[in-house]
Amino acid sequence: MKYIFLFILPALILAACQPKNEVMNEKAINPVDLDTTVSPAVDFYAYANGGWMKKHPLPADKSGYLVMLNRKTNF
């Protein structure tokens, strides 16, 4: 019975470690969120986040945004 586990366990481990063929359609950088009116050499933060900040103004009663990511991780 022990020897069956010696063959089954590695097969299960190898099957679990196979890469997923998932294609990510989401781009890492969204050009819409860039503020091209600002030079990245002068203020990179405003250049990289300015478009998003203009579309999502901070309400007067809030001090900031807190983003919690709930992503499914595949190991």
Residue 47 lies in a domain: yes
* Tens digit of each residue's pLDDT (9 = 90 or more) over 9-41: 777 777 766 666 666 666 777 888 899 999 999
Reported pTM: 0.48
Quote the domain boundaries for residue 38. Answer: 28-57
Is the pLDDT at 75 greater than 60, yes or no? no
Mean pLDDT of 40-58: 90
Tokens describing residue 68: 């919690």
Residue 3 lies in a domain: no
Residue 5 lies in a domain: no
pLDDT at 73: 56
Residue 69 lies in a domain: no
Residue 44 lies in a domain: yes
Is the pLDDT at 61 greater than 50, yes or no? yes
The rounded distance, in Å, linking the Cα atoms of 65 and 39 is 25
User: Structurally, how many domains does the chain consist of?
Assistant: 1
Residue 36 lies in a domain: yes
11 against 44, higher pLDDT: 44
